[in-house]
Amino acid sequence: MFADSISDYFEGVAAKYLSAVDADPGSSNQHEIGGLPAAGFKRHLGTPGKDEEYRFKAKLIYVTDECAAPDFCEGFVTWYDCRRKQPHRSAEFRLYYNTNAVTELIVKGDFLLVAKMRDGSLLMIFTPAKSSVENQLRLLFGLHHVDDRFTPGTLDSIQLLLPLRLMLEELGVEVSRVERGDDVWLDQLIKLFGGEKFPTTAAFSSYSRKSIENIVDPLAFPDQTVLDWMEHEEKLFRIYERHLVQRQLRYGFGERGDDVDEFISFSLSVQNRRKSRVGHAFEGHLDEIFRLHGLRFQQGRGKGFTTENNSKPDFIFPGFAEYRDNEFPVNKLFMLGAKTTCKDRWRQVLSEAHRISEKHLITMEAAISESQTSEMQSHGLQLVVPETIQTTYSDSQREWLVGLGDFISRVKHASV
């Protein structure tokens, strides 16, 4: 399992809702964000003198619940005293930014998080207020009671749950690091898989389940089991991926080792593998848990495993033949979609099995907004969230959520 926490990557964080002056250059004729000193952030950025400006490399991101991928921009921001030409007045430090593709998207009222990374750079994330992204960022960085003034976060004791780790990496923050014992795991992985290429996801997942230490009983604790399996596999995957990437870097790209197109192709393949593999691993671990519980089901893979409009649900209980049999009782049919993160993709599940009015979707996504879960309810979608991750939701949401064990019990009860 991973042993790192958010404070291993960040040294300070603060957040606020943008004012008109922060977001609209027309309101102040500037591109400045103020208020960071009041949140204690000056100790992370320093105190430039009257004739000084501190420049920080920065990654600016605009992300919404609906967008498939965040908008990114990298550049520099300037930390300076905006009253430096007024020696009779006390210093007022502000963060100046240049107009770019991200700042053109921001508006008054957006949530802004500013984080100082351990490498000295800044991470600035903008998102609409009250979104799931805001909820998740506040959870991730220990932010409470955010208002129109910067509020500091508390990083010390926040562990990186796998869903939050995946979220950070989606935002372009690499959170993998070498830990004690990684060499032992790498030796075993090379011995088993050869050390030259990735095995299939099914083979890698199978080894991950067999090799996990401190095994949780999947029959008694299915919710914790699927999380432990996923986290252990993610750790092993990053260890093996680091080895394979380093190996390719030593060999270079193309005949002379400097083929740019081949390098870009390789880089894209690394990113695409990360995205696709985690979803397939999630489905594979769920498949194993369902089999251990003796459930009858089929996955929407291969020819013939479809419902209306050629849709391919992730899981149908007890199977596609029963689903197509109009004589088979509807109350004994279940459909389960599986998405490690929902975003706006949960709507895809709604059209995948018309006979089943209440559809289920299991996710590892933390802290989805109340407005989004309310919309799910209104469309007849029941969200399934492992119990540990349910703690990131509000009390009212948790009354509605069901765990993986609860879902398994429902299917078992209906099959009697």
> What residues are labeled active site?
323
Cα–Cα dist 177/170, whole Å: 17
φ/ψ of residue 126, rounded to 5: -115, 140
Cα–Cα dist 399/47, whole Å: 48
Please report how many Cα atoms fall inside a 13 Å half-sphere around the Cα of residue 139, on the Cβ side.
26
Check: CB of residue 119 under 8 Å from CB of residue 175: no
Cα–Cα dist 24/18, whole Å: 9
The per-residue b/e assignment along 364-392, b for 16 or more CB within 10 angstroms, e otherwise, is: bbbbbbeebbeebeeeebbbbbbbbbbeb
Q: What is the DSSP letter of 94?
A: E
Residues 385, 387, 389, 392, CA torsion sign: positive
Check: CB of residue 366 under 8 Å from CB of residue 392: yes
Cα–Cα dist 189/234, whole Å: 13
Check: CB of residue 77 under 8 Å from CB of residue 56: yes
Phi-psi region of 63 (alpha: psi -120 to 50; beta: other; left: phi over 0): beta
Cα–Cα dist 280/216, whole Å: 21
Q: Which long-range contacts link 179-182 to residues 24+ away (Cβ below 8 Å)?
A: 179/2, 179/3, 179/4, 182/239
Q: For residue 54, which of 122, 125, 123, 151 has the smallest C-alpha distance?
A: 122
φ/ψ of residue 32, rounded to 5: -130, 150
φ/ψ of residue 15, rounded to 5: -150, 155
